[in-house]
Amino acid sequence: MPSERLSPEHLKRGTPAYRCATLALFCAGFATFAMLYCVQPLLPSLAGHFGVSAAISSLALSLTTLSLAFCLLVSGALAESWGRKPVMVSALATASLLGLACVWADSWHTLLVLRALLGLALSGLPALAMAYVGEEFEPESLPAAMGLYIGGTALGGLLGRLLSGLLSDIGGWQLALGGIAGLGLLSLGLFAWLLPRSRHFSAQPLSLRGLLGNFARHLGNPVLRNLFIQGFLLMGGFVALFNYIGFRLAGEPFGLSSTVIGLLFVVYLAGIFSAGWAGRLVPRFGARAVLQGGVALMLCGVALCSAPWLIAIVAGLALFTLGFFAAHAVASGQVGKHAAGAKAQASALYLCAYYLGSSVIGYVAGYVWEHSGWLPLMAVLAALFVLAGWRARAL
């Protein structure tokens, strides 16, 4: 539905305007996470092609998320003056083109530079999408809308990994990266057409003092600080497990191919379900209980992934993913609820911590895997999630 036909009121669940907006945000979440994480099942192939170690190969993802984390602070601040939709459309277009450019990378360092630039481009999307939801949807519809957006990120993570593994076996990692970038361009077209323009956004004049003041106010809010810590711990542990599960399953005694490893990411379907489900449970049970329940599921998943049997590992990945997306949907929704103004900057701080966890913990976990093995890595991840569950009591 074209934006000019939409009601100026806040978007309400069940209306055509709500369906248009949530579908557009679903497309944005899908494209962002497909391009971001499509390299994850390719890490063993990239390590072999470029002659680098497992930990070094993880830089293809860690540098992207690190660039994304820091640039989120800038894009989130600029969006308070420039608006929501124009910045998000530009970000998605630039990221898709950079994804295509990765196909022609002829050296490891060139690929890393392009992936870092892709993270920079994508920084204009996640925080703004979260801020858009917080501003444009009525409070009763906000948890479900955020759940649908997070569901789009889950589907993007699933298909990005699944298709890249399949395309890699057909035509190598170049075909995999090019195919995912093509899906990003398709999502861009749908997003630009479907998303209504912002109707409740109030532009702020560009002022360094004002921007820094907003960051200081958000960091001074103890509830928001706790949510930022949740993002760091949960996302860091989540990415660490999925970074190295491919190496675990490609080696003995499993010996799985890239396609089969990619198929394991079908467990992301659990995340699509749990993100929306968790959003609907918050009004009934409270944010703390739902968040802690998600963390408990993640711990059960880690325990099963420690087993030496493939069926237990698959079940563990499913539980782990179910718990992560439930916890993330709750935490990200609470950021918009507790931020007093400048919601894009509050979302940017949450996502900065979120992607810093992905970069730092995802990279460091590679050394645990290489030097100590799988079970010590699982023990480290379990400790992170116990800490996250303990911190959630402050909500």
Assess contact for 235 and 354: CB atoms under 8 A: yes
**Residue range 191-230, pLDDT digits in tens:** 888 887 767 666 566 666 777 777 788 877 788 888 888 8
Query: Could you give the CA distance from residue 218 to residue 351 in angstroms, rounded to a whole number?
Result: 13
The count of residues in the chain is 395
Query: Could you give the CA distance from residue 342 to residue 363 in angstroms, rounded to a whole number?
Result: 32
Q: What's the token pair of residue 204?
A: 């702020």
The pLDDT value recorded for residue 205 is 65
Query: Could you give the CA distance from residue 349 to residue 353 in angstroms, rounded to a whole number?
Result: 6
As a whole number, mean pLDDT of residues 345-362 equals: 83
**Residue range 106-116, pLDDT digits in tens:** 899 999 999 99
Query: Could you give the CA distance from residue 226 to residue 158 in angstroms, rounded to a whole number?
Result: 28
- The mean predicted confidence, pLDDT, of the chain is 82
Identify the helix (H) or strand (E) that includes residue 284.
helix 268-285
Assess contact for 318 and 267: CB atoms under 8 A: yes
| Full-model pTM | 0.69
* 43 closest CA partner among 25, 18, 62: 62
Distance, C-alpha 79 to centroid of its chain? 20
Contacts of 147 (CB under 8 A, 6+ apart): 275, 276, 277, 278, 279, 280, 329, 333
Higher-scoring residue by pLDDT: 383, 18: 383
